[in-house]
């Protein structure tokens, strides 16, 4: 797999991050409601030994690989308490044509909204 920074060596990357999470975030077409995903939610929900509260991020994401099925906008929110639709962070336009898209960004929540006529899913692999 390659991205904007060249080939990704996941074995090397994994040695530098303690946590990882994977999410498939469904979003509506343009004009629909913004969807929020808190980093670590799926990772700790899948761990039977975890007693974590899923409304509180278990880790801060530091790098994320995004693969959308339709064009969308993503906001990287450092404060997980900001509700969906209330983030004032800059929107990053993520196009299907440029997937996968890797971005090093510190955040605790992703805010996703559609950018085109079609609804879609944003696949996010989060390392932190």
Specify the pLDDT at position 20.
Answer: 86
pLDDT tens, position by position, 115-124: 999 999 999 9
DSSP 38-103: ETTHHHHHS-TT----TTS-SS-EEEEEEEESS-EEEEEES-TTSPTT---SPPEEE-GGG-SEEE
Model confidence, pTM: 0.80
Looking at CATH, the fold of the domain delimited by 19-127 is given as Jelly Rolls (2.60.120)
Specify the pLDDT at position 124.
Answer: 95
Half-sphere exposure of 6 (CA within 13 A, CB side): 1
pLDDT tens, position by position, 80-107: 888 888 888 989 999 998 889 899 989 9
Residue 2 has pLDDT above 90, yes or no: no
pLDDT tens, position by position, 7-52: 666 566 556 777 889 999 999 999 999 999 999 888 877 777 776 6
Domain boundaries, the chain: 19-127
Cα–Cα distance, 65 to 8 (Å, whole number): 10
Contact 84, 33 (CB under 8 A): yes
Name the one residue in this structure whose structure tokens are 């990772």: 43
Contact 25, 75 (CB under 8 A): no
| List of residues 6+ apart from 118 with CB closer than 8 A | 29, 70
Length in residues, the chain = 128
Specify the pLDDT at position 54.
Answer: 61
pLDDT tens, position by position, 49-66: 776 666 676 788 999 999
């Amino acid at each position: 797999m390659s991205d904007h920074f060249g080939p990704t060596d996941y074995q090397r990357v994994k040695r530098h991050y303690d946590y990882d999470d994977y999410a498939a975030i469904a979003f509506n077409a343009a004009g629909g409601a913004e969807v929020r995903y808190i980093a670590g939610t799926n990772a700790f929900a899948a761990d039977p030994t975890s007693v974590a509260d899923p409304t509180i991020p278990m880790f801060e994401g530091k790098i994320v690989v995004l693969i959308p099925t339709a064009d969308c906008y993503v906001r990287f929110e450092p404060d997980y308490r900001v509700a969906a639709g209330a983030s004032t962070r800059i929107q990053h336009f993520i196009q299907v044509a440029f997937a996968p898209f890797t971005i090093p960004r510190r955040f605790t929540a992703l805010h996703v909204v559609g950018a085109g006529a079609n609804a879609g899913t944003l696949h996010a692999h989060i390392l932190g």
